[in-house]
Amino acid sequence: MGWKFATQSHQDTSKWVGKNHQPQAVTSLNRAHDSILPEGSAPPTGFGNPGFLWRSTLVGGFIPTAITSGDFNEDGKSDFPISNGGDSTVYVFLGNGDGTFRVPEILYTQGQSPTWITAVRLRTKGHLDLAVTNGDTNTVEVFPGKGDGTFQASTQVSVPQIPTFIVAADVNNDSRQDLVVGLSITQNLTQPQVEILFGDGAGGFSGSPLFSPGMFGRLWGPVPTDWIAVGDLNNDGYVDLVTTISGGGTIPYLSQSGLSFLMGNPFRPNNDPTDVPLVVELGDMDEDGCLDAIESDEFSLVSIGKGTCDGNFPTTSLTTPWGDSDPAIKVVDLDGDGHLDVIAQRPGTATVK
C-alpha cells in the first residue's frame, strides 16, 4: 500500500524484496504476433474447475496492487491494466479475444507507489481513461485514453491523506463520472475516510471535493480504507457507499442527494464484534429489491449482510469457508441463470459459489 504507509505502520520494507525478484513463472513472449501466450496448466489438487481454464501468470511489474478492466483500444475485446506499487508503473494488457494478450503497454506514474486503479470515462464524449491512486505522494493520477490502447500524458490531483482505493461512480447524478477515493486515517487524528472528486465531463474535476464525516483513527497506527463498494442502498436514486477499514468493521455511508454523506450503522461479518472484514461488494442476493453486502473476512469466511433498503444490514448469514485469506470478491451472474454468483479470490486460486 505504498512505502510511506509501510513506514508509518512500522513495517520493514526490506523484507518485501527478495534476493532476486525477477518473475519466477514467466510466460512465453510471441514477438512474431506481438502477444503474450498464457500457458494452460492443471488446477491444484483438491479444487474444482468452475468453468475456467487454469492459467499461469503473465509478465508483470513489481508488487502488483490492483487490477481493472475495460476496452481501451475499442476493438470489442476486454483488456486489463495492473498497477504496480514497487516500480510505480501501470501495465496495460490488450486482449486478443482468445485468452491471449499483447505485450503490455507500460505507463510510468508521476506519483510514487500506486495503490489502486480503476477504469473511468471522465470525458463524456471521450475514450476510456485510467485513474490511479499514489500512496507515497498522496495523489490521484489520471491517464486520458486515446482509444487505441495508448494514453496521453497523465495529470495529478492532490488528496489530503494517503489514498488506498479508488472507484468510479456518478455521485451527484449530473451524468458525469466522479472518482470515489478511499483514504487512510492518520494515527490519533479525526479525518474523513472517503473523498469525492467531481468530474467536469471534460477529463478534469470541478468544484470543491466532498468528504465523508470524520472518524477517529487508532492510537497505535494509521487506519487505511481497504475497500469501497458503490450502490443505491435506500433506492432514492443516489449512489451510496459501503467501506471496510483495516482492523475495523464495515461502514455504510448514505448519500444526501449527492451533497453530503451520512454515516450509517457499522456492521461486521456474521454479526461477530471481533470479526474483521477485508472486502465488501453489493448485490441483491435474495432478489427482494434491496442491496445486500457480501463480505470476506480475515477468517477466510464469506458472509451476506441482509440489506433492508434503508442503509442498514441488521443480520448476516454465514456461508461455507472458502479457504485461506480471501482478499477480493466479485458479484456477477456467471452462468447466465439470472441469479448472482460470488467469486472469491485467494492466493493461488479462485472459488465460485
Provide mean pLDDT across the span 200-205: 97
Q: What tens digit of pLDDT does each residue of 258-275 get?
A: 999 999 999 887 777 777
Q: Is the pLDDT of residue 290 over 80?
A: yes
Q: What tens digit of pLDDT does each residue of 305-316 get?
A: 999 999 999 887
Question: Where does the pLDDT of residue 323 fall: very low under 50, low under 70, confident under 90, or very high at 90 and above?
Answer: low
Of the candidate ranges 103-107, 134-138, 182-186, 220-224, the one whose mean pLDDT is the lowest: 220-224
| pLDDT for residue 8 | 46
| pLDDT for residue 35 | 47
Q: Is the pLDDT of residue 231 over 80?
A: yes
| pLDDT for residue 350 | 46
Provide mean pLDDT across the span 284-295: 95
Beta strands in 214-274 (DSSP E): 214-216, 225-231, 240-245, 250-255, 261-263
Question: What does the radius of gyration of the chain's CA atoms come to, in whole angstroms?
Answer: 20
Q: Which residue has the higher pLDDT, 314 or 208?
A: 208
First to last CA, the chain: 29
Q: Is the pLDDT of residue 12 over 90?
A: no
Q: Which residue has the cell 491471449?
A: 100
Of the candidate ranges 71-80, 140-149, 259-268, 317-326, the one whose mean pLDDT is the lowest: 317-326
Measured CA to CA, the distance from residue 129 to residue 96 in angstroms comes to 20
| pLDDT for residue 325 | 57
Task: Decide if 16 contacts 5 (C-beta within 8 A).
Answer: no
Per-residue cell: 243:
467501506
Q: Is the pLDDT of residue 18 over 80?
A: no
Q: Which residue has the cell 467531481?
A: 198
Task: Decide if 78 contacts 92 (C-beta within 8 A).
Answer: no
Of the candidate ranges 32-46, 71-85, 108-122, the one whose mean pLDDT is the lowest: 32-46
Residues contacting residue 278 through CB under 8 Å, at least 6 positions apart = 226, 227, 244, 295, 296, 297, 298, 325, 326, 327
Measured CA to CA, the distance from residue 185 to residue 182 in angstroms comes to 10
Q: Is the pLDDT of residue 150 over 70?
A: yes
| pLDDT for residue 321 | 65
Closest CA to 66 of 137, 133, 160: 133
Provide mean pLDDT across the span 32-40: 44
Question: Where does the pLDDT of residue 178 fall: very low under 50, low under 70, confident under 90, or very high at 90 and above?
Answer: very high
Provide mean pLDDT across the span 3-7: 46
Q: Is the pLDDT of residue 3 over 60?
A: no
Question: What is the overall mean pLDDT for the chain?
Answer: 84
Question: Where does the pLDDT of residue 11 fall: very low under 50, low under 70, confident under 90, or very high at 90 and above?
Answer: very low
Provide mean pLDDT across the span 164-171: 98
Q: Is the pLDDT of residue 25 over 50?
A: no
Residues in the chain: 353
The strand pair at 194-197 and 178-183 is best described as antiparallel
| pLDDT for residue 281 | 95
Measured CA to CA, the distance from residue 179 to residue 195 in angstroms comes to 8
Q: State the pTM of this model.
A: 0.84
